[in-house]
Structure 1
Amino acid sequence: MTTTSTATAAQTHEQPRPKRSFSPRTSFYLMVAPALVLFFVFHTVPVIQGVFYSFTDSPGYGTFDFVGLRNYLALFTDARVLHAYGFTFLIAAVATVAVNIIALGIAIGLNARIKWRTTLRGVYFVPNILAILIVGYIFNYLFSNSLPALGEKLGIEWLSTSLLTDASTAWLGIVILAVWQSAAFNIIIYLAGLQTVPTDLYEAAAIDGAGAWRQFRSITFPMIAGFFTINMVLSLKGFLQVFDHIVALTGGGPGTSTESVALLIYKGGFQGGEYGYQSANSVIFFIVIVTLSILQLRFLQKRETSV
């Protein structure tokens, strides 16, 4: 009896140990820390190293000497660098305008009550998930073989030769590929914006006799101005960094006529023994992209309030 009572009392006094738990703040830091470490090691450290090497004459290996600002000053007198910047700005400006016009038009069509609307949304997004290099080589074959053969059969002289072999037309092939691949992402963003526009506004406008263009200018575009800003900024930033498209289509040729800044940095830095020089070019290019993005964002945001 006494033994049973003692065992019962012992079991009564034995309480389960509480499980150790972290505070929300500690849990947050534990989850963020791995990503922060990886970002610092694989992004921040290389950036700092790039800035460091931009003040040297390093070829990418071996010894090097500090040259101060000589690399930066030489960039502004280098004809090849200036041409690369001009070509990059041309591609970015034309492609940004074209992709937003096309994407907005397609998004408006997909947002309408048409058959297979959901299926078509998936189809239009396919280019965004394909590897650019693979698609670029396919477009290269089309521009260099299929279209010229078609042009010869139809007797169209300007179509009988490849666009990519002429310096004056090769950039058009790059723009076509870039717009075709990038339109998918823009379409998705515009579709999300169009779904926020109340249908009552269109019904009221139709009763007042407003046509399709008037409805777009007075209702649709003002209501999706924020989505337009996002697409314009992201498109310009992406096209300024155009690289894979050019590698697959022209490789920077004919000559260096289609050489973008990103391709020039890659060629000079990793193949031409200009690691320090092109590191300085990459720093300047980074500043240019950030500056243009900020200016564009501020201008478009001011325009949103005035629409």
Structure 2
Amino acid sequence: MTVQKAAHEPRGTMPEPTERKARQGIGVPRTIWWMVVPAFVLFFVFHTIPVLTGIFYSFTDYAGYGEWGFVGLDNYVNLFRDERVFGAYRFTFLFALVSTVLVNVIALVIAVGLNARIKLKTTFRAIFFMPHVLAILIIGYVFNYMFANSLPFIADRMGITALSTSILANEDLAWVGVVILAVWQAAAFNIILYLAGLQTIPTEVYEASDLDGATPTQQFFRITFPLIGAFFTINMVLSLKNFLQVFDHIIALTNGGPGTATESISLLIYRGGLQGGEYAYQTANAVVYLVVIVVLSLLQFRFLQRREADF
């Protein structure tokens, strides 16, 4: 009976103990669990729990200390009536839009130049990446001194009256100083990403275009830019997201001044929530701003991805 039973068994089948061992061998190694679980716990404790706690307090009148009570949607309704909040949104979006365009144009031009056949290519890459390594507050204070002292001194000697005083003290020009610092610091990361994209383009494509008599401008718009469309999308999305969260640049240069001319949303949330006794109110502001950034990033990503297909 045993022999007949074995003869009728399909070939290639394994006894149950062997199958269990095989399945155990296919499972996830313990080392991966020891790497993933602690990271997940840390992320949950220091990110997810604070976010959920903040959302909870946004429906209260909590001042950051003492007692509190539920107020429902009052904090969210009051946000749309607050002129200071609208002013901060106006400045932040203007700053983010201008900075995103400038940093990507400048970074793309520099990356294309570095990718050309020039000497000391690696050295120039290291030089252009240095601003990304330096602390924003440190270089911010350096730029503050330049705008407040060096630039007015040079402009006064050259007879340029418009720049003879610090632009950081001018309500109409202070945001320009913040843009200059932000673009100078952020361009480094964008340059590295664009260089990575340019290196994926085969040289044979350019050689074939040279034989067809294509000019450098035609090569850029018909070959280079379409083939690095994915890198352009990543840079645009990350740049806009980072600039919408601008904080350190403003602290180092203007501290939100003159008045509230350069007060960003992040700075307003910090001041009102941690220094002004508006913890719950500014937490609601932070929740709204989180939704705004996520929605804008998704729309931007989807739009640019469609443009990649058009290229």
How far 1:65 moved relative to its partner?
A: 1.2
Aligned AA (1:266): Y
2:53 and 2:27 map into 1 onto residues whose CA distance is 37
Farther-moved stretch of structure 1 (244-253 vs 207-216):
207-216
Partner of 1:103: 107
Aligned to 2:133: 129
Instruction: Give deviations 1:198-232, integer Å, cap 9, x for gaps.
Output: 11111111111111110000000000000000000
Aligned-partner Cα distance in 2 for 1:200–1:283: 50
Aligned to 2:194: 190
Distance in 1 separating the partners of 2:165 and 2:210:
49
The answer to whether structure 1 residue 71 and structure 2 residue 43 are counterparts is no
Query: Counterpart in 2 of 1:210?
Result: 214
Equivalent in the alignment of 2:174: 170
- Structure 2 residue identity aligned to 1:226: A
What is the root-mean-square deviation in Å for CA atoms of aligned residues? 1.2
Equivalent residue number for residue 91 of structure 1: 95
Confirm whether residue 45 of structure 1 aligns to residue 27 of structure 2.
no
Shift of 1:22: 11
User: 1:27 matched to which residue of 2?
Assistant: 31
User: How far is the alpha carbon of 1:159 from its aligned partner?
Assistant: 1.4
Shift of 1:26: 3.6
How far apart are residue 25 of structure 1 and its match? 4.3
| Match in the other structure for 2:10 | none
Provide the C-alpha distance between the structure 1 equivalents of 2:143 and 2:26, rounded to a whole number of angstroms.
Answer: 55
Other-structure match for 1:158: 162
Partner AA of 1:30 in structure 2: W
* 1:138 counterpart = 2:142: yes
What whole-Å deviation, never above 9, does each CA across 1:106-130 have from its counterpart, x for those lacking one?
0001101111110000000000011
Query: Partners of 1:158 and 1:31 in 2: how far apart?
Result: 58
Point out where structure 2 has 5 or more consecutive residues left out of the alignment. 1-24
- Aligned to 2:261, which of 257, 264, 273? 257
Distance of 1:66 and 1:152 partners within structure 2 = 58
Whole-Å separation in 2 of the counterparts to 1:134 and 1:110? 27
CA distance in structure 2 between the partners assigned to 1:246 and 1:24 by the alignment: 47
Partner Cα separation in structure 1 for residue 27 and residue 207 of structure 2: 53
Q: Are 2:284 and 1:280 aligned?
A: yes
SS at match of 1:209: coil
Amino acid at match of 2:302: R
SS at match of 1:82: helix
Aligned-residue offset at 1:138: 0.5
**Number of equivalent positions:** 287
For the residues of structure 2 that align with 1:23 and 1:211, how far apart are their CA atoms? 56
CA distance in 2, matches of 1:26, 1:131: 38
- How far apart are 1:271 and its partner, in Å? 0.6
Distance 1:138 1:28 in 2: 45
Question: How far off is 1:29 after superposition?
Answer: 2.0
TM-score (norm 1): 0.92
- Structure 1 stretches of 4+ with a deviation exceeding 4 A read none
The answer for the alignment partner of 1:9 in structure 2 is none
User: Partner residue of 1:54?
Assistant: 58
What is the one-letter code of the residue matched to 1:146?
S
Give me the identity figure in percent.
Answer: 64
Q: SS state of the match for residue 168, structure 1?
A: coil
1:45 aligns to what SS in structure 2? Answer: helix
**The one of 240, 247, 250 aligned to 2:244:** 240
Report the Cα offset of residue 23 of structure 1. Answer: 5.3
Amino acid in structure 1 at the alignment position of 2:108: L
